[in-house]
């Protein structure tokens, strides 16, 4: 996803507002209290903490965030909870709507017809005399028999009813075949083949199902390339050619190279470069980037070098930052000084979790030509890729008349909008300087345009109430969230060696609902311990999987550790999480006791005091061990 929808929903929905329709809450100090909705009780032990936006029940032990609460009280899963809370918050989710069974069954029929047609075309190309023209093209282009089989290449004969007769013999409804994009209707009635005298390239989805075709005309027929029409199973802008065959290669290389044409991909795979896919056009779309970014964060564009291709690449670059995942980084922004103490506020800025670069292909050459002429040089060509912002600035500002103020303003506007989406302050400052130098402008002018509106408060108030949320110990909450993420990241990455400790992580300590889902999956004994993290994430909800990807990314710079060190890190982090929760509960109860004493409620004071006493007993477990050399002031025992 281009943004973190979970974080957006958290910011817009206050946990107190969410809980109140289900629980009658009473304010006690800085927290709220009520009867727990998850178990029967007479005395309120359910506490809502508006500062940390969490809840905890001292009676049954349940706790979590807004998603955990809604999942529990409505008995729904994470995706359902997110969908409903996003609706309430006005956050748009990039999701695929649930498909009715009858609609899904119809879609499967269309897929089956496309795969039946793919077999028909492939058989003609490989075995039939009427496929001679197609075989000649394949041989001239140097495509190996193995690539023909792997990519399912085929040939549509030069006939108006070849496929139609094939379908008729098998009892296929021509209306359904027309809906699948394989037949077309005659004005006079009846049907005819859509694809004729063309080399056929089956276009498959990520799972390897044929959803449509790209067809290259033989000779001078127009159009040169003809695709399947838009349908319920075929959307060219949301498909990446060759992705089903490139998944493993992309993961192994940790890089995806996006080219333009079918033959570019086939040539690359034929010579062993299996991390290459095609966007099937002159421009890359957001949906296509969304498909490849889960496999690798290192994206290289190697599109056509002609003027149309360059313009299309520039259009793609201007949308790329919005299509990529990002993370929110806390940044201290100075706001002046009071006496000798510098003052600052915490603001959040976006940083992309991806590296995008552009290969400048030689004029008049495409990857197919380059690879077939000198396959050993392809890695060298890819290594010359330049960062996308350098390419963008050269493309936008390269032809600007620096004496034309309007052109300069338009160039600054276009580049500043992209830098705004990139978010990283250092990158923004660097490229603002580069652009300013190219356009002969003051750096401050460009940088002000870039920075306009790029930061936001750490927890902006977006609920109906105009009053701000209570102040909070941000460092304590951030540390707890960081420890929690670290634990889940280690368990996910090292699941095969963490069997002894994964059950020692209490689910009720996990506040982030996505982390709870991941913990449940990590503990699932039906999943082989040897399964790699990427494969595990591929099988779960995309939103949780995206979060899991970010957790794994956070460990990339971590040096290798022995199993015993990893287990020790996990257990230490769990201890810190317990201590943080204990401190949070202690502060809440102390505030309750003060309120009860101030109101003269002796019964309530006694009850809260008893809870505090129980917590005090638990508090001893967080104390450091007794020193053999110094007097321990925590004890009455003297050495």
Which helix (H) or strand (E) covers residue 573, if one does?
Answer: helix 563-599
Write down the pLDDT at residue 156.
96
What per-residue confidence (pLDDT) applies to 232?
85
If pLDDT is split at 50, 70 and 90, which confidence band does 318 have? low
Report, as an integer, the average pLDDT of 50-58: 83
Residue, of 289 and 617, whose pLDDT is higher: 289
Residue 211 in this model has a pLDDT that exceeds 90: yes
Half-sphere exposure of 275 (CA within 13 A, CB side): 21
Highest mean pLDDT among 92-101, 114-123, 330-339, 569-578: 114-123
76 pLDDT tier (thresholds 50, 70, 90)? confident
Q: Which CATH number fits domain 5-89: 3.40.50.2300, 1.10.3720.10, 3.30.1330.200, 3.90.580.10?
A: 3.90.580.10
DSSP secondary structure of 45-109: -EEEETTTTEEEETTT--EE-HHHHHHHHHT--HHHHHHHHHHHHTPPP--PPPPPHHHHHHHHH
Radius of gyration of the chain (CA): 30
The Cβ of residue 124 has, within 10 Å, a number of other Cβ atoms equal to 23
Residue 197 pLDDT = 95
Q: What is the pLDDT of residue 340?
A: 38
Q: pTM score > 0.75 for this model? A: no
Q: What is residue 96's predicted lDDT score, i.e. its pLDDT?
A: 45
SS3 351: strand
Torsion region of 29: left, alpha or beta (phi above 0 gives left; psi -120 to 50 gives alpha): left
Per-residue confidence at 573, pLDDT binned at 50, 70, 90?
confident
Best-predicted range by mean pLDDT (140-154, 245-259, 521-535, 583-597): 140-154
For the stretch 444-494, pLDDT in tens is 888 878 766 333 333 333 333 333 343 444 444 455 567 888 889 898 888
Peptide bond connecting 167 to the previous residue in cis, omega within 30 degrees of 0? no
- Domain 256-451, what fold? Dna Topoisomerase Vi A Subunit; Chain: A, domain 2 (3.40.1360)
The CATH number assigned to the domain with range 109-234 reads 3.90.980.10
Q: How confident is the model at residue 161 (pLDDT cuts 50, 70, 90)?
A: very high
* pLDDT band for position 42 (cuts 50, 70, 90): confident
Q: Which residue has the tokens 């009846």?
A: 190
Q: Please give the average per-residue pLDDT across 331-339, as a whole number.
A: 42
**77 pLDDT above the threshold of 50:** yes
- Compare 27 and 631 and report the one with higher pLDDT: 27
Q: What pLDDT sits at residue 631?
A: 64
Window from 26-30, 134-138, 454-458 with minimum mean pLDDT: 454-458
Residue pLDDT, tens place only, 355-398: 888 888 887 788 999 999 999 999 999 999 988 888 888 888 87
**pLDDT bracket for residue 242 (50, 70, 90):** very high
Q: What is the mean pLDDT of the chain?
A: 80
How far apart CA 175 and CA 189 sit, in angstroms, is: 12
Contact 243, 230 (CB under 8 A): no
Res 1: pLDDT: 39
The residue that leads in pLDDT, 126 or 90, is 126
pLDDT at residue 12 is higher than 70: yes
What does the angle CA 152 – CA 157 – CA 163 come to, to the nearest 5 degrees?
A: 80
């Amino acid at each position: 996803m281009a943004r973190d929808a979970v974080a957006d929903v958290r910011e817009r929905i206050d946990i107190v507002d969410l809980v109140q329709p289900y629980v009658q809450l009473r304010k006690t100090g800085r927290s709220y209290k009520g009867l727990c909705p998850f178990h029967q009780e007479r005395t309120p032990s359910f506490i809502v903490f508006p500062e940390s936006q969490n809840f905890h029940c001292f009676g049954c032990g349940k706790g979590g965030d807004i998603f955990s609460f809604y999942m529990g009280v409505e008995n729904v899963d994470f995706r359902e909870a997110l969908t409903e809370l996003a609706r309430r918050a006005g956050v748009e989710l990039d999701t695929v709507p649930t498909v009715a069974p009858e609609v899904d069954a119809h879609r499967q029929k269309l897929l089956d017809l496309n795969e039946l047609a793919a077999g028909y075309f492939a058989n003609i190309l490989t075995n039939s005399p009427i496929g001679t023209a197609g075989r000649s093209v394949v041989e001239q282009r140097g495509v190996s028999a193995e690539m023909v089989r792997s990519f399912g290449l085929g040939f549509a004969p030069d006939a108006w009813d070849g496929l139609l007769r094939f379908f008729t013999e098998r009892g296929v409804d021509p209306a359904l075949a027309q809906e699948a994009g394989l037949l077309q209707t005659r004005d006079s009635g009846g049907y005819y083949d859509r694809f004729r005298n063309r080399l056929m390239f089956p276009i498959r989805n990520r799972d390897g199902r044929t959803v449509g075709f790209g067809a290259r005309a033989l000779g001078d027929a127009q159009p040169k390339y003809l695709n399947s029409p838009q349908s319920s199973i075929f959307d060219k802008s949301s498909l990446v050619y060759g992705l089903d065959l490139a998944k493993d290669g992309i993961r192994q290389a940790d890089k995806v190279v996006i080219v333009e044409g079918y033959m570019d991909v086939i040539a690359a795979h034929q010579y062993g470069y299996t991390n290459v896919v095609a966007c099937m056009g002159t421009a890359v779309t957001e949906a296509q980037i969304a498909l490849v970014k889960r496999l690798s964060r290192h994206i290289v564009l190697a599109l056509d070098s002609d003027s149309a291709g360059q313009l299309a690449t520039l259009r793609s670059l201007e949308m790329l930052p919005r299509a990529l995942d990002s993370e929110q980084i806390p940044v201290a922004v100075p706001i002046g000084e009071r006496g000798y103490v510098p003052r600052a506020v915490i603001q959040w800025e976006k940083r992309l979790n991806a590296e995008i670069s552009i290969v400048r292909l030689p004029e008049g050459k495409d990857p197919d030509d380059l690879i077939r002429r000198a396959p050993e040089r392809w890695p060298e060509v890819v290594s010359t890729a330049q960062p996308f912002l350098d390419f963008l600035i050269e493309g936008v500002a390269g032809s600007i008349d620096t004496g034309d103020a309007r052109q300069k303003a338009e160039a600054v506007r276009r580049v500043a909008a992209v830098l705004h989406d990139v978010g990283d302050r250092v990158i923004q400052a660097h490229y603002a300087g580069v652009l300013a130098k190219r356009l002969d402008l003051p750096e401050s002018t460009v940088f002000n345009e870039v920075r306009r509106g790029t930061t936001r408060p750490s927890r902006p108030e977006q609920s109906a109430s105009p009053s701000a949320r209570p102040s909070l110990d941000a460092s304590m909450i951030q540390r707890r969230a960081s420890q929690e993420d670290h634990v889940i990241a280690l368990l996910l990455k090292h699941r095969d060696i963490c069997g002894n400790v994964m059950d020692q992580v209490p689910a009720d300590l996990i506040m982030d609902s996505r982390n709870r889902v991941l913990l449940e999956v990590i503990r699932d004994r039906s999943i082989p311990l040897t399964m790699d993290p990427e494969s595990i994430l591929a099988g779960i909800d995309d939103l949780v999987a995206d979060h899991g990807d970010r957790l794994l990314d956070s460990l990339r710079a971590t040096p290798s550790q022995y199993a015993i060190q990893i287990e020790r890190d996990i257990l230490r982090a769990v201890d810190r999480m317990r201590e943080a929760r204990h401190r949070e509960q202690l502060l809440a109860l102390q505030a309750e006791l003060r309120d009860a004493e101030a109101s003269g409620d002796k019964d309530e004071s006694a009850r809260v005091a008893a809870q505090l006493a129980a917590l005090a007993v638990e508090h001893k477990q967080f104390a450091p061990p007794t020193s053999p050399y110094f007097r321990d002031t925590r004890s009455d025992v003297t050495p």
